[in-house]
Structure 1
Amino acid sequence: MGLFDIFKRKEETIKADRLVVEDEDAEATAEEAEAVEEEDFEDFAKEAPEDRAENGPFDRGEIEAEGAYLDLGALRIPMREGLALRLEFEDKTQRVIAVGLDYEGSTMQVQAFASPRSSGLWRDVRTKLAAQVKKQGGRAEEKVAEVGTMLRTSVPIVQGSDKLRVVQFLGVDGPRWFLRGVVSGQATSDEAKLEQMIEIFRGVIVDRGDRPVPPRDLLALTVPEAMANQMAASAAQQRAQRTAMAAKQREQQAGQ
């Protein structure tokens, strides 16, 4: 499976405690964004591995993104053999809202959000996620790993069913950003595969950018030129196939 083999359109925006603003049409000015950053958010300490600056996830100013990285704007993804990447789009705005990474039977969705200068988001986010999961009849428990505190959740696939969907949330507070990973698949039951996904997660570089962004807003992702060209070529091919099919149907109808 190649790097650009999978493209998935997300039907509904995935949020972690409303980390994406509801009103997509309202854009804050630079002054408003800075003012929001100074509002009284609950003051939780930033949570990150002690060696984050050395071993990731990295801030753009801490490492040169040289070699096998894919530049997606706010995120630079470390590429490796066997890793397939897809972009997830929001239907309403057609903006890219997440990066999906598939590797050896496991999947991880990655998103980066703006955060306050002096406090973190991860403790608050996972607490509210756990409450939401329990409200749905599921279970949530915290566990400590190399990347810090993780949240393991399990929710019935159908209400009242014994079959559970297991998802593990990773979170790291960086300098003015919060990076979230949502892991599913084999890594939720296989520690060795979970370590592989954590390794990929820790290799991510976050580019917060210089533009003021209100805390908890999604940092902008962009489509690389190679991927955009492939998407355009695929769309053109699909249009040509539909045109040919329509012409064939007209011929068949004319011959009847």
Structure 2
Amino acid sequence: MAEQPQAAPRRESGPWDADEPHPDTDRTDLGGLRLPHNPDFDVRLASVGDLHVGVVVLNGESTMQLQAVAAPRSSGLWDEITTKIVGQVGQLREQEGPFGSELVGEMPVEGGTRSARYIGIDGPRWCLIAVMAGPAARDEAVAAPFIDIIKDTVVVRGDEPMAREEPIPLRRPNDQQDDHADDQSGLNPFRRGPEISEIR
């Protein structure tokens, strides 16, 4: 029996939900996220204990943290999360970006501050959060390839029940899907803590 042709995407760009039609491009399968491949970028998993909770993408002096969290079926989370970010980080202003409302400014780091840009996209039962730091947070030309990664990322929410803002678990590309871990400590993009491991 012949394969059915893939349905055409309903939007020009993502991030995509795994269950919606999306372009069949070269992506790295990390379980809860499928990231488009870019040879110029280093991609590393951020872990809390044994749980992989986010991805760190590095290019030059810029970084981007990506994390997908579970959201209610009835409403998005990004507006609520921005309120929490402002409460923790402070010196930020709101602006319109390619995905809607986002926050830009300075975030505290050891020994001073660093330029930061907070982007959130609400999807069906998930919210994808991206935090750019360094030159990409203030220069659109430097940010462009990071934005392209967000636009072609696929979020794999799965059908299992998850708590509000629970990180959608990730795995190394060659690992089998782990059993759902009991420890659901989240990646906090505003504090040091998660261990970063490179993907090879």
**TM-score (normalizing by structure 1):** 0.60
Q: How far 1:156 moved relative to its partner?
A: 4.6
Within 5 Å, which residues of 2 pair with 1:219-230? Answer: 219-225=168-174
Q: Secondary structure at the match of 2:19?
A: helix
Question: Which 4+ stretches in 1 moved above 4 angstroms?
Answer: none
Aligned counterparts of 1:204 and 1:186: Cα–Cα separation in 2: 22
Equivalent residues in 2 for 1:1-256, closer than 5 Å: 53-64=11-22, 66-91=24-49, 94-134=50-90, 139-157=91-109, 163-225=112-174
Aligned residue for 1:219, secondary structure, equals coil
Shift of 1:215: 1.8
Whole-Å separation in 1 of the counterparts to 2:10 and 2:83: 22
How many Å separate the matches in 1 of 2:89 and 2:39?
35
The one-letter amino acid paired with 1:141 is R
Structure 2 unmatched ranges of 5 or more: 1-8, 176-196
Query: Are 1:87 and 1:99, in contact at CA under 8 Å, matched by a contact in 2?
Result: yes
- Measured on the aligned residues, the alpha-carbon RMSD in Å equals 2.4
Give 1:196 deviation, angstroms: 2.1
Change (3 A) 1:123 1:166: same
Structure with bigger strand share is 2
Counterpart of 1:63, as a letter, is P
Change (3 A) 1:177 1:55: same
Deviation at 1:149, TM superposition (A): 1.0
Rounded Cα–Cα distance in structure 1 between residues aligned with 2:10 and 2:58: 23
Q: Structure 1, residues 166-202: CA drift from partner, whole Å, max 9, x if none?
A: 2111100001100000101210221111222112111
Q: Secondary structure at the match of 1:99?
A: strand
Equivalent residue pairs, number = 169
- Give the Cα–Cα distance (whole angstroms) in 2 for the partners of residues 87 and 157 of structure 1: 20
Amino acid at match of 1:145: G
Give SS of 2:106's match. strand
2:185 maps to none
Larger proportion of helix: 1
Identical positions, percent? 36
Cα 1:212–1:218 change in 2 (3 A) is: same
Change (3 A) 1:170 1:52: farther
Query: Structure 1: how far apart are the matches of 2:81 and 2:22?
Result: 30
Q: Output the CA distance in 1 between the equivalents of 2:161 and 2:11.
A: 23
Aligned CA distance change for structure 1 residues 53 and 177 (closer, same or farther; 3 Å) = farther
TM-score, scaled to structure 2: 0.76
Q: What is the CA-CA distance between 1:142 and the residue it aligns to?
A: 0.7
